Structure 1
Amino acid sequence: MKGIVTDTSGNGLPEATVMLLLPKDSSLINFGRAAKDGSFEFKNLKRISYLLKISYVGYLPYQHQVIPNDGEVTNLGKLGMKFLNQDLYEVVIKTARAPLSIRGDTVEYDPRAFKVPPGATVEDLLRKLPGMQVDADGNIKAQGETVKRVTVDGKRFFGDDPKMATKNLPAEAINKVQVFNGKTEQAKATGVDDGKREKTVNLELKDSHKKGGFGKAIAGVGSDSRLEGKVSYNRFDDKQQFSVLGFGNNTNQSGIARNDYQDFKGSQSFNWGDDGDFGFGGGNRFSSDGESITIQPNWGGNNSQGFTKNWAGGGNYNFDTKKTKVSASYFYNSTDALTNVMSSRDNFLNNTTYKSTDVNKTSAFSGNHRPSLRIEKVLDSLNTIVLISNSRINNGDSDYDSFQQYYRSGDTLSNRSTINNSSLYNSFAMSNLLLYRHKFKKKGRNFAASIGYNINNSDGSSNQNSMNEFFLDPTQNSTIRQQNKTKSDRNQLKGSLSYIEPFAKKFSWETFYNFSLRKDKVDRNVFDVKDSGLEPNQLLTRYYTNEINYNRIGTSVRYSNNGLNISIGGAAQQFDLKGKFAQDQTSVDITKVNRTYFKVVPSVSLNYDLKRNRYLYMEYMQGIQEPSIKDLQPVVDNSNPLNIVVGNPNLTPELRHNIYGGYQFFNPASFTYLFVNAQYNYYVDQIVYNKTIDANLVTTTKPMNVTGGFNYGSSIGVSYPLIKTKLTMGLNTGFNLSQNPIYINNVINKTKTDSYNFGTRLDFTPSDIFTFYTNAYWNIANTSYSINTSQNQKVLSANYSGDMNIKLPKEIYFNAKLNFNTYANNQFGFSQKQPILNLSVARIVLKNKRGEIRFTANDVFKRNLGITQNATSNYYSETRVRTLSRYYMLSFTYNMRGMSASVKRSNGF
């Protein structure tokens, strides 16, 4: 079938969107874009009746039912489109919607043209859309690129993780799905296009769903006393959102699942570009050297290692108007974990090898209170302020028992240790940021300032008990009984300034300044437990203070014209490190450390929009990382007496040279995409952890600077529809070569790893009652050592996965999910095959399909053995963890909004 799209005067309309649909249900059969002269054609069509739809910006959409003639070609001739004027606008809104339209780099889908079962989620809908992919974990790709954000009606509705909106919103609520390349947050704030793009999906809600509430309650009981429950409810309108969430389980749903967390956080919980640090370089400028105080859920699923009991709950409120945005939340979560581990390790020295084994058990509790507040106020069209405050109040305890044995010359026992440690801790952290942005009346001229104050305080105590036997030299036998009390206080003041000036039509100039002053104080008191009482241990007790002052000033010039964006800049940055170390606070013998590090770092970037959905990009940058306070502290950690850790106050900052680039192409007519990229990293004064092993096989680990580490690699990927909207194939391949140098017994060991991979994907979505997703991935890794080359090894690994969904009669839904991993190491004769199969069947019940009864069989073959292998710079290890394996669960779900179940990937409920 062919034809020519024209206007009323007969002139061809280039790149018009042309679609063939089935008249009975308007489902999409084929689609494409007209050529520059307006011509189009569809090949290999069945001889049946079709609905032809054509759309073009500014014209009334064309719609006509076509019955193919008896010949091989049905020529429709010239198809004239009428110019869209105001009188026809209302008709277009009501009757002329097309399944999809393409305007530049924006693809807009009408969900009604892509059939999904009642109650399906947005994730299920996205799998049906041409050019979209959703993997087993819910990660989204559009046109071959990872989706960076998902917005709802243009708002950041579910935070910084795109898949959470797609997993929790019903497909029935969506009026349009728009996919486009969004500008970065800094480009939006300054008005200066930096040439960088972030793949964005916007979900436009139906008017009927822009107000109201929804939620669900789940209760499940399973074999081996497994229990789970969850309740959530959300209510929102154009200005406000209120959310509550609570759950508990003993099925290794540890922490909080990301979808629960993002449901809970809601609109405006995260905002890109709100870190208050200006200029190029991102996190490579300096480290915070501290744990994040935002909520850090465990994103693992049912197969997390060990056994955990989990409880969580909280509330969230959002208020959003054009000038004021407020987000406040409180959340508590706790995890009680039990872990049993058996591990063995082959350790490589210069010319010899020794073995070690470890059988240990850990019982740990952690509880976290996390309040947060964010306020954004638009003062006027030129001025905006943002206030962000996040806090964490944490407490926990742990008990650790371990039995370790070391062997030399085969099976000759050299030494062994029995360890019984316990600890208690409490901590408080708070991060505050005030950000001010000012846009001048001159377009592109922009000023921004930020000031932040962070606190991170903790105190804890531990008991260390061990018996250590050395069979080669029994005089070294020892018994350790110690108490350790540590109090740590940290305060940080930081600030940043930025000014951007467009000095020509195509040029802009940015000047920025970054400042940080951090102070740390640690009081560590160690006591030996004697029969007569506690006796201070002078060797391990330490009191120290550290002060790190960071200053950076930089500038860059940017050229932007006709899709070409080039930036060249540099920055001078200086670290001033001051430290005082003493045995205790009253000691007169004080060691001082005063060091200054100065470096000028360049930055070069190129982003080129070649039009017609083709992009070229490249960037070179130097990143500097100062040593962490933990690594600088001259403190001995003997919690494991066979593996001693000590700091190094003589460390210098690490410098990393990084260059990467690539090309990507997307054909919106055929929905074929291609990407090619490459990257290279080289390290100067890299901070690595070097090891010294004495005659008794006691390892002392100390950080030091080493130059010569590198890695480089490349990857290529392509995806194309074999049958449009029904069957899509993807192929990818790549390699990565790396070298990591460290010292072992004062001899440098360069570990080289050459890795090569290949993968393929097949998405089969023929209808709303059957979907099948498959993936296969193969990798070969060759690891070689510059010392003890006899331990060189080759590792072959593969992963095969499939996810099948079937809708059966009488509202019954079946899901089968298989994940099959293989692993083989030729050096150690290890070969492992691990098939994990999960099955579930669900039945929709109750009036308005509000209920669901689901039976789930997890790890049907009982092969979740918790076995992992690892090859590093000087050892090969194998670990076995007792973990939750096969169990069965019967659950009931009540949907408070009447959303029914769907053919979708199983989440275990």
Structure 2
Amino acid sequence: MIQKLKFLFDKKKLLLFFALVILFDFASAQQESQLRGKVVDTLGKAPLSNAVISLLHKKDSTLSNFTRSGKDGSFILPHIAKGQYIVMVTFPKFADYVEVVNVQEQVVDIGSIALTQKATLLKEVVIQSGRAIRIKGDTTEFTADSFHVKEGATVEDLLKEFPGFQVDSKGQITAHGQRVQKVLVDGEEFFGDDPTMATQNIAARAVDKVQVFDTKTDQQNLTGLGGNSQSKTVNIKLKENSKKGAFGKINAGSDFQKYHDGKALYNRFVGKKKVSVYGTKSTVSTGSLNWEDREKLGIENDQEYDEVGGYYISYGVSDGFNDYSLRGLPDSYSAGALFSNKWKEDKYGVNGSYRYNRLSTNNESSTLTQTILSSGLLYSDQRIKTNGLNQQHAINGKYEWKLDSLATFKFTTTGIYKTTQSHNNTKSFTQNEKRLFLNENDQTTESETESKQMDNQLTYKQMFKKKDRQLLMTLRFGLVEDDNNGTLYSTFKKYDAAGNFLADSITDQQKRFTGSSNTIGTRITFSEPLTPKLNLVVNYGYNNNNSASNRASFNDGGNSKYEILDSLYSNNFDLDVSSHSTMGVLKYTGKKTRFAFGTGLSALQINLDDQYKNKKTTYSFLNITPQANYSYQLKQQKRIYANYRGYTRQPSMNQLQPIRDNNDQTNVFVGNPNLKVGFNHMISGGYSSYKILTGQNFYFDVNYGFTQNDISNASVIDASGKRTYTPINVNGNNNWGIYGYWSIGQGEKKLRHIINLSAYGGRNINFINNEKGINNYSSFYASYGLGYDVKEKLNFNIRPNVRYNTSRSSMRKVDNNFFSYGSTFYGYVILPGKIEINSDVNVDLRQKIDAFDRNTNIIQWNESVSKKVLKDKSGKIIIVANDILNQNKGYSQRINSNFVTDERYQRVSRYFLLKFEWSFNKMPTGK
């Protein structure tokens, strides 16, 4: 009996044991997870079957589980306990893939794992000891740590050390002879179109690599054609550990009387979230960071995309908030904020910024102009006093959504609200060759302008499993509204050939302008692989612009009221412009050879409704755009390339409208409705190489262009010296250019030698008083640079140069040839006690020409002495001496066709500031 009870008891324990095991297994099953994903080829996004997926415990790298991918590349690893693992994917002839995953959910989907072929990967391998520069296709990449800069240096200081780069005193960057117009940070815009916001404020030590390439849009990258080969884009790639924490800078300086300059910047990174704010106040600069006036508002700045963009000219389109084009003495404020973030494994991304600028200027300028006629010379002298106030609010936004690994939506928007106020007084006169007066003009203008602009673009990009198959669609919508009110009061006096007074005339008018424009456009581009290396790319685009322009000039009716419409200087137009365009391109991408060639065709129709004359006019243009690009990679760091681009140039609406503009009484413009479409040919080619061991860098580029039915001017100059000009078509205009750059030397305590040779020239044709004038011009430039640095002790760079300019007119042989000599120098020395002396000198010496006997020599010398303070040396006291020799005169000289112009204007000259600067860096790379 007892034995039987023991048996039953043991049996119950056994059953209980099995029940507990089953319950534990069930509970474990409820806690287990599964890992799933898909293995594809990086290039073609094609699925890879039978790839081995191994799951390793992170703590000891022991194997937890493994499987193989199916035919569609997908895989599932079941029965995984929660925790951290290492996923390793292997496939023959492909590089291994390793990633750390944190398994917490019941189902973890890591998405597509893209493997890279070893053969492709080897193309990217460069020996670590010499990877300062890498050239791949049209992209040149610089490794930041391979170039020495002083402690506390910015990206701008770093760029100065790169071969082929130049940075002037205003922050403008030139790379391989071409202007850098856009600076990105990790592929994203930093405060919209404010490039120096990045170059002057991001620390050099936070930078991993810097890439420079031709400015291109998504459409141009897909076709392999187009792009602005005359401008460059710089992309600053930050180190991973520089994307954590915060950094910033505050500086303030004053002479305690007239001049002051202050700036504050704060950046914070939280994961992939970035927040930046800044503000400036200055009487020595514009306080802004733009480089140039933009001719039109656009998201991508793609001229091929928007064939109708030039048919409405906005009053508020130019951006005067930049030091490069500053004329006069400034008083400026600016502020801005930036936010960007990516989340859910970069599936979603947002980037937005706001910027405010306020700039008031006072300027006194003088402009001398020599006009070359077969009958003699004319001399014009203008003296202008200007007071202006510009204010601007600008926003930039981008939202990106990756539907999956193959499809992406991107929405971008840009908006500007701008107001301007100006008061100008111009006193001018024209004299003949005997220096007898032909006319005098005393003119005062006042103007108030309000401009609103917005541009929106939606882009859809679809990749496919088949390699190189791709669909790209864009939709764009833009709005512009302008409102301008002003007055013109002018007294114009005429003289006879002997200098005797004949008569005078008074113009007293009120100017009113209202304008609006809306543009909608779409483009669809599709790429289909014909072979593994050859693609066919086709696209179609449609654009439409509807705009209205009402310019009214009213004369004083004698009662101080402007009530009498002056129809000669007034117009009211409604405009409808539409275009259809298509293009076909063959694109070949080989191991060493790349080429693309094709042609586009677009039909443009303009419907112009003249409301004043009740007249409707239709213009039709057929545009052909053949293009070809070719490049050959001789070696890893050597390539040759050649490009051809043919494109039409249709006249602008202002050139077509037969209206008069009398805002300048001595130069009156009249439109020409009979203009024909022109056709431009542009051919360019070059060679680039870099030798790793010696640091030798060589770059050469040559280009030539000519235009059929180019648009020039026909001028009629009457006996009083008054010029009336209108656009006409001419044949024979051309231009050419050559650029060469060579440098050698790298590293500390080694001399760097730089030789730069360039030349450009061309021919312009115009007509003056029905006589054809041919002007041939050219300019030849040579410079030799020398650089040297000792880490944290000494650095200097000097580059003397010489230039020879020639210009000759067929109307009369006037010697306008001259030499100019110059030099740039910048450097620093660090003395005991962490005292740093910085110096930069810019020398510009020019020969006087026959046209003007004025001294044009400028030597600008800036100096600063600084001492680091505070316990962590994050503060700095600086004494700044700007323009020590007091020669910083604004100067511009233009020799074009039959006109030679010499302009002088005010600039901020000698001043001394006491500054305090505090920098903080709460990042792993900082202190």
Report how far residue 555 of structure 1 moved: 0.4
Match of 1:711 in 2: 735
Deviates more, 1:825-834 or 1:144-153: 144-153
CA distance 1:389–1:416, shift in 2 (3 Å): same
CA contact (8 A) 1:287 1:626 kept: no
Amino acid at match of 1:796: F
Q: TM-score, length-normalised on structure 2? A: 0.78
Match of 2:427 in 1: 403
The reply to whether residue 169 of structure 1 matches residue 198 of structure 2 is no
CA distance 1:882–1:655, shift in 2 (3 Å): same
- Distance in 2, Cα, partners of 1:146 & 1:725: 30
- Aligned with 1:637 (options 652, 661, 665): 661
In the TM superposition, 1:508-587 aligns within 5 A as: 508-532=535-559, 533=561, 534-583=563-612
Partner SS for 1:825: coil
CA distance 1:695–1:295, shift in 2 (3 Å): closer
Q: After superposition, what is the alpha-carbon deviation per residue over 1:244-264, rounded to whole angstroms, capped at 9, x for unaligned?
A: 11111111x115025999xxx
Match of 2:266 in 1: 233
CA distance 1:484–1:620, shift in 2 (3 Å): same
Partner SS for 1:630: helix
CA distance 1:144–1:562, shift in 2 (3 Å): farther
Report how far residue 387 of structure 1 moved: 0.8
- Aligned with 2:831 (options 808, 816, 824): 808
- Aligned with 1:495 (options 502, 522, 525): 522
Larger Rg belongs to: 2
Partner SS for 2:889: coil
In the TM superposition, 1:270-309 aligns within 5 A as: 275=300, 287=310, 290=313, 296=319, 298-300=321-323, 304-309=326-331
In the TM superposition, 1:372-451 aligns within 5 A as: 372-451=396-475
Amino acid at match of 2:842: N
CA contact (8 A) 2:299 2:414 kept: no
CA contact (8 A) 2:431 2:437 kept: yes
The reply to whether residue 479 of structure 1 matches residue 501 of structure 2 is no
CA contact (8 A) 1:437 1:447 kept: yes
CA contact (8 A) 1:143 1:671 kept: no
CA contact (8 A) 2:321 2:357 kept: no
Q: After superposition, what is the alpha-carbon deviation per residue over 1:467-488, rounded to whole angstroms, capped at 9, x for unaligned?
A: 1111228665211111111111
CA contact (8 A) 1:144 1:673 kept: no
Q: After superposition, what is the alpha-carbon deviation per residue over 1:427-476, rounded to whole angstroms, capped at 9, x for unaligned?
A: 11111111111112211111111111111110111111111111228665
Amino acid at match of 1:892: F
The reply to whether residue 220 of structure 1 matches residue 220 of structure 2 is no
Q: After superposition, what is the alpha-carbon deviation per residue over 1:726-768, rounded to whole angstroms, capped at 9, x for unaligned?
A: 2110112232230010111111111100222111111111332
Match of 1:702 in 2: 726
- Distance in 2, Cα, partners of 1:359 & 1:193: 47
Amino acid at match of 1:545: D
CA contact (8 A) 2:493 2:502 kept: no
Paired positions, count: 781
CA contact (8 A) 1:307 1:884 kept: yes
In the TM superposition, 1:240-259 aligns within 5 A as: 240-251=273-284, 253-254=285-286, 256-258=288-290
- Distance in 1, Cα, partners of 2:626 & 2:696: 37
Q: After superposition, what is the alpha-carbon deviation per residue over 1:759-789, rounded to whole angstroms, capped at 9, x for unaligned?
A: 1111111332100011122111110001122
- Aligned with 1:205 (options 232, 239, 247): 239
Amino acid at match of 2:578: N
Match of 1:311 in 2: 333
Please, which runs of 5 or more residues in structure 1 have no aligned partner? 1-57, 59-96, 262-272, 584-588, 903-909
CA distance 1:292–1:717, shift in 2 (3 Å): farther
Report how far residue 113 of structure 1 moved: 7.7
CA contact (8 A) 1:194 1:565 kept: no
Match of 1:756 in 2: 780
Report how far residue 122 of structure 1 moved: 4.3
CA contact (8 A) 1:132 1:140 kept: no
CA contact (8 A) 1:311 1:333 kept: yes
CA distance 1:514–1:287, shift in 2 (3 Å): farther
- Distance in 2, Cα, partners of 1:187 & 1:593: 34
Amino acid at match of 2:275: F
- Distance in 2, Cα, partners of 1:565 & 1:743: 45
CA contact (8 A) 1:507 1:559 kept: yes
In the TM superposition, 1:43-192 aligns within 5 A as: 101=131, 105=135, 116-124=149-157, 135-137=167-169, 165-174=198-207, 176-177=208-209, 186=218
Q: After superposition, what is the alpha-carbon deviation per residue over 1:693-746, rounded to whole angstroms, capped at 9, x for unaligned?
A: 112211112112112100123232211128876211011223223001011111
CA contact (8 A) 1:522 1:544 kept: yes
- Aligned with 2:857 (options 822, 833, 857): 833
Partner SS for 1:697: coil
Please, which runs of 5 or more residues in structure 2 have no aligned partner? 1-94, 96-126
Match of 1:85 in 2: none
- Distance in 1, Cα, partners of 2:737 & 2:213: 26
CA distance 1:127–1:823, shift in 2 (3 Å): closer
Amino acid at match of 1:712: W
CA distance 1:146–1:350, shift in 2 (3 Å): closer
Match of 2:884 in 1: 860
Q: After superposition, what is the alpha-carbon deviation per residue over 1:465-514, rounded to whole angstroms, capped at 9, x for unaligned?
A: 11111122866521111111111111111111111111122211011112
CA distance 1:289–1:238, shift in 2 (3 Å): farther
- Distance in 2, Cα, partners of 1:798 & 1:625: 37
In the TM superposition, 1:738-887 aligns within 5 A as: 738-789=762-813, 791-828=814-851, 829-830=853-854, 832-887=856-911
- Aligned with 1:678 (options 691, 699, 702): 702
CA distance 1:382–1:898, shift in 2 (3 Å): closer
Match of 2:534 in 1: 507
Identity %: 23
- Distance in 1, Cα, partners of 2:866 & 2:692: 37
Amino acid at match of 1:747: E
Match of 1:605 in 2: 629
CA distance 1:184–1:724, shift in 2 (3 Å): farther
Amino acid at match of 1:205: K
CA contact (8 A) 2:785 2:800 kept: yes
CA contact (8 A) 1:140 1:162 kept: no
CA contact (8 A) 2:641 2:686 kept: yes
CA distance 1:703–1:638, shift in 2 (3 Å): same
Q: After superposition, what is the alpha-carbon deviation per residue over 1:228-249, rounded to whole angstroms, capped at 9, x for unaligned?
A: 2222211112321111111111
CA contact (8 A) 2:307 2:543 kept: no
In the TM superposition, 1:614-633 aligns within 5 A as: 614-633=638-657
- Distance in 2, Cα, partners of 1:195 & 1:418: 46
CA distance 1:519–1:872, shift in 2 (3 Å): same
In the TM superposition, 1:453-464 aligns within 5 A as: 453-464=477-488
Partner SS for 1:832: coil
The Cα RMSD (Å) is: 3.5
Partner SS for 1:539: helix
Match of 1:656 in 2: 680
CA distance 1:125–1:703, shift in 2 (3 Å): closer
CA contact (8 A) 1:720 1:728 kept: yes
CA distance 1:258–1:845, shift in 2 (3 Å): farther
Amino acid at match of 1:876: V
CA contact (8 A) 1:522 1:545 kept: yes
